[in-house]
């Protein structure tokens, strides 16, 4: 049997429901199914849209779809995705398309793609960013997998995705296999670094005695310039939220950061591929360290008090320049991980397209991605963004601010793991000579490991 719905979606939690509303706004006729049927019933009733068809069984759901069927899965990442695919597969026909829009591990997407392709079912792993508002009004989308599915999906997915100021869709084909979810994973890794660096700047500014409102004003004004980005914008908003008793909400939040795993996956991939991903990795460690609250309290009482941070004229301006420099370096690390992954997994990743897709709708959207897109349009195979004229100009202009700020932070005992790593990476990657000669000498001395002599 085949129905009239041009797209179907399984999994009506917060992301699924908002994506369906977005699909409906953009003229699609949508079939929906959720494991707990009452969720489907309530959603269909509330939406009151005659282009929305609720199904109380997977068979009814599949029957409501026009062939070839296009089915988006928005269920919890991990085993629920496999459970749904296992149930769905016997009901599908050759040529049908299954799109996993959750935050799946890219190797799982690769495995699912490999399993479904021989059955004639096209599998697409599509990273989606932007949270529930993005899903509702235009997310950033990173589809990858079986490219023969793309022509049928392109108008639907680009229709609901965010658009850049120039009207470009924030949804482009990424590449084969698990590449879509890999790109989304790196997006999240950059997000971890970005959030940690913003938090470190906030920590430094409050250590100088600035209150939340004054810090919010700084972030507001930075958001008008080169640091313009979603995360800088919402930082100012978060700093201004009041609790019922009038106190600042942010001051009442327990300083233990949670994580769902995509930052850790990025760090693990950077280690696996031998690409420095130190900013993301430090951001993951920083969240872990923050969560060891009792240990921190004990150690705080155990050691002598920290030095206080000494202010200096221009510290706030330095903070802006330092954050900008570190943010650029974090993007450079992220794109260099993508380059290495493309080599290792033989994906044809288009870096300019990736920058474009991240320019709106997603959590790391930022003005800086515009020049980065241009760099890659001019030099599509550039291995490291730091080799571009844009980076050279910007980093030459901001480097000393980052050093001055970090020197004070280190003297004052304000922890800056991500900002410090940005500088360490910058200093390391542009060093013609590193002390690795000594490491090779030591390795050879105790273990007769091989070493190479310097080329003449």
Provide the annotated active-site residues.
184, 191
Give 183 or 332: the residue with its C-beta nearer to ligand NBP: 183
Please state, in angstroms and rounded to a whole number, the distance separating the CA atoms of residues 7 and 97. 10
Residue nearest to ligand NBP as judged by C-beta position: 102
Q: Is 84 in the site for ligand NBP (CB under 6 A)?
A: yes
Q: Is 131 in the site for ligand NBP (CB under 6 A)?
A: yes
Give 237 or 444: the residue with its C-beta nearer to ligand NBP: 237
Please state, in angstroms and rounded to a whole number, the distance separating the CA atoms of residues 190 and 230. 13
Give 128 or 386: the residue with its C-beta nearer to ligand NBP: 128
Give the contact letters, 19-48, x = binds to ligand NBP (CB under 6 A), - = no. ---------------xxx--x---------
Cα dihedral 257, 260, 263, 265 sign: positive
Count of residues making up the chain = 456
Least Å distance between CB 315 and ligand NBP? 35
Q: Single out the residue of 5, 12, 58 nearest to residue 31, CA to CA.
A: 5
Give 141 or 406: the residue with its C-beta nearer to ligand NBP: 141
User: Which of residues 24, 77, 238, 387 is near ligand NBP by CB under 6 A?
Assistant: 77
Q: Are 429 and 392 in contact (CB under 8 A)?
A: no
Q: Are 391 and 328 in contact (CB under 8 A)?
A: yes
By the 10 Å C-beta count (0-12 exposed, 13-18 middle, 19+ buried), 260 is classed as: exposed
Which among 12-20, 61-69, 237-245, 268-276 is the span making contact with ligand NBP, rule CB under 6 A? 12-20
Give 168 or 191: the residue with its C-beta nearer to ligand NBP: 191
User: Which of residues 5, 7, 9, 12 is near ligand NBP by CB under 6 A?
Assistant: 12
Give 75 or 121: the residue with its C-beta nearer to ligand NBP: 75
Give 14 or 436: the residue with its C-beta nearer to ligand NBP: 14
Least Å distance between CB 75 and ligand NBP? 4
Least Å distance between CB 152 and ligand NBP? 22
Q: Are 153 and 143 in contact (CB under 8 A)?
A: yes
Least Å distance between CB 121 and ligand NBP? 18
User: Which of residues 89, 107, 132, 311 is near ligand NBP by CB under 6 A?
Assistant: 132
Q: Is 72 in the site for ligand NBP (CB under 6 A)?
A: no
Q: Are 175 and 353 in contact (CB under 8 A)?
A: no
Distance of CA 8 to the CA centre of its chain: 26
Q: Is 299 in the site for ligand NBP (CB under 6 A)?
A: no
First to last CA, the chain: 73
Q: Is 259 in the site for ligand NBP (CB under 6 A)?
A: no
Q: Are 46 and 38 in contact (CB under 8 A)?
A: no
Neighbours of 242 (CB within 10 A): 11
Least Å distance between CB 234 and ligand NBP? 14
Q: Is 185 in the site for ligand NBP (CB under 6 A)?
A: no
User: Which of residues 105, 128, 195, 286 is near ligand NBP by CB under 6 A?
Assistant: 128
User: Which of residues 80, 95, 159, 261 is near ligand NBP by CB under 6 A?
Assistant: 80
Q: Which of residues 85-104 bind ligand NBP (CB under 6 A)?
A: 102-103
Q: Which of residues 222-251 bind ligand NBP (CB under 6 A)?
A: none
Give 35 or 67: the residue with its C-beta nearer to ligand NBP: 35
The residues pairing with 126 across neighbouring beta strands, listed in sequence order, are: 143
User: Which of residues 5, 7, 15, 315 is near ligand NBP by CB under 6 A?
Assistant: 15
User: Which of residues 13, 238, 268, 387 is near ligand NBP by CB under 6 A?
Assistant: 13
Of the CA atoms within 13 Å of residue 30, those in its CB half-sphere come to 28
Please state, in angstroms and rounded to a whole number, the distance separating the CA atoms of residues 335 and 342. 10
Total residues binding ligand NBP (CB under 6 A): 23
Please state, in angstroms and rounded to a whole number, the distance separating the CA atoms of residues 65 and 95. 13
Q: Is 11 in the site for ligand NBP (CB under 6 A)?
A: yes
Which among 129-137, 195-203, 248-256, 282-290 is the span making contact with ligand NBP, rule CB under 6 A? 129-137
User: Which of residues 14, 288, 299, 439 is near ligand NBP by CB under 6 A?
Assistant: 14
Least Å distance between CB 288 and ligand NBP? 20
Residues that bind ligand NBP in the complex, under the rule CB under 6 A: 11-16, 34-36, 39, 74-77, 80, 83-84, 102-103, 128-129, 131-132
């Amino acid at each position: 049997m085949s129905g009239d719905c041009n797209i179907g979606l399984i999994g009506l939690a917060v992301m699924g429901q908002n994506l369906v509303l977005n699909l409906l706004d953009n003229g699609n006729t949508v079939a929906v199914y959720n494991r707990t049927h009452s969720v489907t019933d309530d959603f269909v009733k509330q939406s009151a849209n005659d282009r929305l068809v609720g199904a109380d069984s997977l068979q009814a759901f599949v029957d409501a779809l026009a062939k070839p069927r296009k089915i988006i899965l928005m269920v919890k990442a991990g085993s629920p995705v496999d459970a749904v695919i296992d149930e769905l597969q016997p009901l599908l026909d050759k040529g049908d398309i299954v799109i996993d829009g959750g935050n799946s591990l890219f190797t799982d997407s690769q495995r699912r793609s490999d399993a479904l392709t021989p059955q004639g079912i096209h599998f697409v792993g599509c990273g989606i960013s932007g949270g529930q508002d993005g899903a509702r009004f235009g997310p950033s989308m990173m589809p990858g997998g079986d490219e023969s599915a793309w022509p049928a999906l392109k108008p639907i997915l680009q229709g609901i995705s965010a658009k850049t100021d120039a009207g470009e869709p924030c949804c482009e084909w990424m590449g084969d296999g698990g590449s879509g979810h890999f790109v989304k994973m790196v997006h999240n890794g950059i997000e971890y670094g970005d959030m940690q660096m913003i938090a470190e700047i906030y920590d430094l500014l409050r250590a100088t005695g600035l209150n939340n409102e004054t810090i919010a004003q700084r972030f507001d004004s930075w958001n008008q310039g080169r640091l313009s980005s979603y995360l800088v914008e919402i930082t100012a908003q978060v700093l201004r939220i009041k609790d019922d008793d009038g106190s600042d909400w942010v001051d009442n939040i327990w300083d233990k950061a949670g994580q769902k795993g995509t930052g850790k996956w990025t760090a693990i991939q950077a280690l696996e591929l031998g690409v420095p991903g130190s900013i993301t990795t430090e951001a993951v460690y920083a969240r872990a360290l923050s969560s060891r609250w009792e240990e921190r309290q004990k150690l705080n009482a155990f050691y002598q008090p920290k030095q206080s941070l000494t202010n200096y004229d221009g510290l706030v301006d330095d903070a802006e320049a330092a954050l900008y420099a570190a943010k650029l370096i974090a993007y450079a690390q992220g794109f260099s991980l993508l380059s290495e992954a493309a080599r290792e997994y033989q994906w044809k990743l288009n870096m300019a397209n990736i920058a474009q897709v991240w320019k709106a709708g997603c959590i790391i959207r930022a003005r800086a991605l515009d020049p980065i897109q241009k760099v890659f349009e001019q030099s599509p195979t550039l291995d490291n963004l730091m080799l571009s004229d844009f980076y050279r100009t910007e980093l030459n202009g901001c480097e000393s601010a980052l050093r001055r700020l970090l020197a004070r932070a280190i003297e004052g005992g304000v922890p800056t793991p991500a900002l410090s790593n940005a500088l360490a990476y910058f200093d390391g990657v542009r060093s013609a000579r590193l002390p690795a000669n000594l490491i090779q000498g030591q390795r050879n001395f105790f273990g007769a490991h091989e070493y190479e002599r310097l080329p003449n």
